[in-house]
Structure 1
Amino acid sequence: MWNNIRFQWPLHTVLFLTNWLPDNVIFLRLRGFLARGFFASCGEDLRLGRDLTFYNSAKIVLGSHVYFAKGNWISAGDVVEIGDEVMFGPGSIVSSANHTRIGSSFRYGEPQIAPIKIGNGVWVSGNCTITAGSVVGEGTLIGANSVVRDTVPAGVLYAGVPGKVIKTL
């Protein structure tokens, strides 16, 4: 309950009140400046686009110079750690909880929760999904529309559904 009052409500209020501002350098930085206190920790120069959703921001750790483009969705059932100089293209999803199945339904299954770690200098292209337990190595490029569900080595192009290493960068 305390985390909802301390982190969630103010963060959602900031995002709601600034959502009408255009996505240019000034307002990306303003949104980031106003929101930075509502995460577990946050480095300098956070830049936030419009239409972002952060669930359980008390478990989201952000490095310096992190950029979220329009429409990202971050859900932290467990710790989500994002390194320095990480960029997220539009419409990406990061979720540290997966649904499980009971009988023939996923509706009431216990969530499978595991931390996510995204290394320094990673670029997560548009419409990517990063699932619970994933670890993305430093300097990696996640190709557009890809699904990450395991450990990705450092310095590679990783793409596909499910994702795989395409080449070393």
Structure 2
Amino acid sequence: MSERTKMLAGDLYNPSDDELVQMRLNARLMTEKLNQTSIVDLQVRTKLLKSLFGSTGKNIHIESMFHCDYGSNIHVGENFYVNFACVILDVAEVRIGNNCMIAPQVGIYTATHPLDPVERNSGLELAKPITIGDNCWIGGQATINPGVTLGDNVVVASGSVVTKSFGSNIVIAGNPAKVIKEVVTSV
């Protein structure tokens, strides 16, 4: 089994594998180009994002500076907006639904490491996928940790650290994040 296959399966893998190193280099070169492209060149920026990400909706907008590990493991729906200084560590798949907004300095991290120090010091890593439903709003400086799934219509308050999964139609806040209220939809 290739290191890439192990990585995407959530198994321990070697991040120094030549294929993975090359993929990360390609993503860094593309994000470097994106981050240096003028905001007025919307078509160029959109084209770069569509070639970087695994899949996107038609309308996608990401402010600079944006960083990711691979890009190809990121899948976003229609009307996706990301504000300044977002980091998505897409070692595993990151799936984000339609009509989602991400505020400044948000971190979405699928990457993790073994808890055992001997295993961790070996250099092997692993990852857990993240899924965010439709109509979600992730507040500034929030962190979404590996393995989290958020339902539809979820609001994550600024500065929250999301360490576990939550259902739909809620506002979550805190460290660790917990439900603070329900979202009542107007439909």
TM-score (norm 2): 0.77
Q: Matches of 1:31 and 1:134 in 2, distance apart?
A: 29
Larger Rg: 2
- What do you get for the CA RMSD once the two structures are aligned? 2.5
Q: Matches of 2:38 and 2:51 in 1, distance apart?
A: 22
Match of 1:149 among 163, 179, 183: 163
Aligned with 1:19: secondary structure? helix
Partner amino acid, structure 2, of 1:137: G
Q: Please say if residues 14 and 31 of structure 1, whose CA atoms lie closer than 8 Å, have aligned partners that are also in contact.
A: no
Q: Please say if residues 28 and 49 of structure 1, whose CA atoms lie closer than 8 Å, have aligned partners that are also in contact.
A: no
What residue ranges of structure 2 are gaps of 5+ in the alignment? Answer: 1-17
Q: Please say if residues 146 and 160 of structure 1, whose CA atoms lie closer than 8 Å, have aligned partners that are also in contact.
A: yes
Q: Please say if residues 69 and 90 of structure 2, whose CA atoms lie closer than 8 Å, have aligned partners that are also in contact.
A: yes
Q: 1:95 and 1:112, CA in 2 relative to 1: closer, same or farther beyond 3 A? A: same
Q: Please say if residues 37 and 45 of structure 2, whose CA atoms lie closer than 8 Å, have aligned partners that are also in contact.
A: no
Percent of residue pairs bearing the same amino acid type? 23
**How far is the alpha carbon of 1:4 from its aligned partner?**
6.5
**How far is the alpha carbon of 1:62 from its aligned partner?**
1.1
Q: Matches of 1:152 and 1:73 in 2, distance apart?
A: 21
**Which stretch shifts more, 93-102 or 157-166?**
93-102
Question: Aligned residue for 2:95?
Answer: 81
Q: 1:39 and 1:4, CA in 2 relative to 1: closer, same or farther beyond 3 A? A: farther
Matched residues, number: 166
Partner amino acid, structure 2, of 1:155: N
User: Which 4+ residue blocks in structure 1 deviate beyond 6 angstroms?
Assistant: none
Q: Matches of 1:3 and 1:42 in 2, distance apart?
A: 22
What residue ranges of structure 1 are gaps of 5+ in the alignment? Answer: none
Match of 1:162 among 168, 171, 176: 176
Q: Matches of 2:87 and 2:139 in 1, distance apart?
A: 14
TM-score (norm 1): 0.84
Question: Aligned residue for 2:35?
Answer: 19
